[in-house]
């Protein structure tokens, strides 16, 4: 057993209602929910409803999972997203850092990403919110050094990151945890994706366990969130929670 803070990304159960998602978290003793902006919490009114249900169930809110793309320069939309996160009492907002890999990003595009990110961080700071790009391909946050360069050039204290593996580059993942650890706010894991990504690769079913043990060894104090589960099944989600707790 461990003392991990375990969370549920609501996108795991897109077809279920806000009430049902809260119920699933409560039944599995999951402490936190990341509310997605695509289905469950699209506006301030829905944010207030989700917060009320979480408060009544004793479930905390880890973050607001927006789908805002840094560099889109949609300033009014971003202000509304910050207001939604504030209504949720979420401490952070998940974003996507651009629309292409860092190695495919031109200098002009890079500078545009920086300018939009500065605006975003400054607006978010008015609500004491952190901005956390998801760790993903087809974004500028697709490799360790790209993220570190961006954070250095940005110079905003409320800019952090998620950590997320694709489950095929173990040494890279360990190195990324080491080099970006001070910036890692939350972690997404998926046992479903572990099996999918390793379908044609050398099997390592303990891959997630090893990553979590690495984080534990560095005294990680953020939230490890399950994002997606096999067949969108509550039973499989419960099994995934159990696996995390038994690491």
CA distance 101 to 226: 25
pLDDT digits (tens, 9 = 90+) for 110-127: 999 999 999 999 999 999
Protein fold of 5-246? TIM Barrel (3.20.20)
Number of Cβ within 10 Å of residue 215's Cβ equals 19
Kindly give the pairing relationship between strand 92-96 and strand 60-69: parallel
Identify which has the larger pLDDT, 1 or 87: 87
Quick one: pLDDT band at residue 3, thresholds 50, 70, 90? Answer: confident
Give the rounded percent of residues in the chain with a pLDDT score beyond 70. 98
User: What pLDDT sits at residue 205?
Assistant: 82
pLDDT digits (tens, 9 = 90+) for 169-211: 999 999 999 999 999 999 999 988 887 776 656 678 889 999 9
User: What pLDDT sits at residue 138?
Assistant: 93
User: What pLDDT sits at residue 203?
Assistant: 73
Domain boundary assignment for the chain: 5-246
Number of Cβ within 10 Å of residue 104's Cβ equals 12
In this model, does residue 57 exceed pLDDT 80? yes
In whole angstroms, how far apart are CA 179 and each of 96, 115, 192?
A: 20, 24, 27
Report helix, strand and coil shares of the chain as percent, to nearest 5. 50, 20, 30
pLDDT digits (tens, 9 = 90+) for 9-21: 999 999 999 999 9
């Amino acid at each position: 057993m461990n003392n991990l803070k375990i969370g549920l990304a609501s996108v795991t159960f897109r077809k279920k209602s806000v009430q049902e998602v809260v119920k699933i978290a409560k039944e599995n003793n999951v402490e936190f929910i990341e509310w997605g902006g695509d289905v469950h919490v699209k506006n301030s009114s829905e944010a207030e409803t989700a917060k009320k249900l979480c408060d009544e169930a004793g479930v905390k809110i880890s973050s607001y999972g927006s789908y805002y793309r840094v560099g889109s320069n949609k300033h009014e939309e971003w202000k509304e997203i910050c207001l939604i996160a504030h209504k949720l009492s979420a401490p952070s907002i998940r974003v996507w850092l651009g629309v292409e890999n860092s190695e495919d990003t031109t200098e002009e595009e890079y500078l545009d990403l920086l300018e939009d990110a500065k605006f975003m961080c400054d607006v978010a700071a008015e609500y004491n919110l952190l901005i956390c790009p998801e760790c993903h391909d087809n974004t500028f946050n697709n490799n360790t050094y790209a993220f570190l360069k961006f954070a250095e050039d940005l110079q905003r204290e409320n800019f952090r990151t998620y950590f997320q593996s694709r489950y095929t580059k173990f040494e890279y993942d360990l190195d990324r945890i080491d080099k970006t650890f001070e910036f890692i706010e939350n972690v997404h894991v998926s046992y479903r994706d572990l099996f999918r990504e390793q379908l044609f690769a050398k099997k390592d079913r303990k891959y997630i366990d090893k990553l979590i043990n690495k984080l534990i060894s560095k005294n990680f104090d953020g939230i490890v969130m399950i994002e997606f589960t096999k067949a969108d099944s509550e039973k499989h989600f419960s099994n995934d929670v159990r696996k995390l707790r038994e690491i």
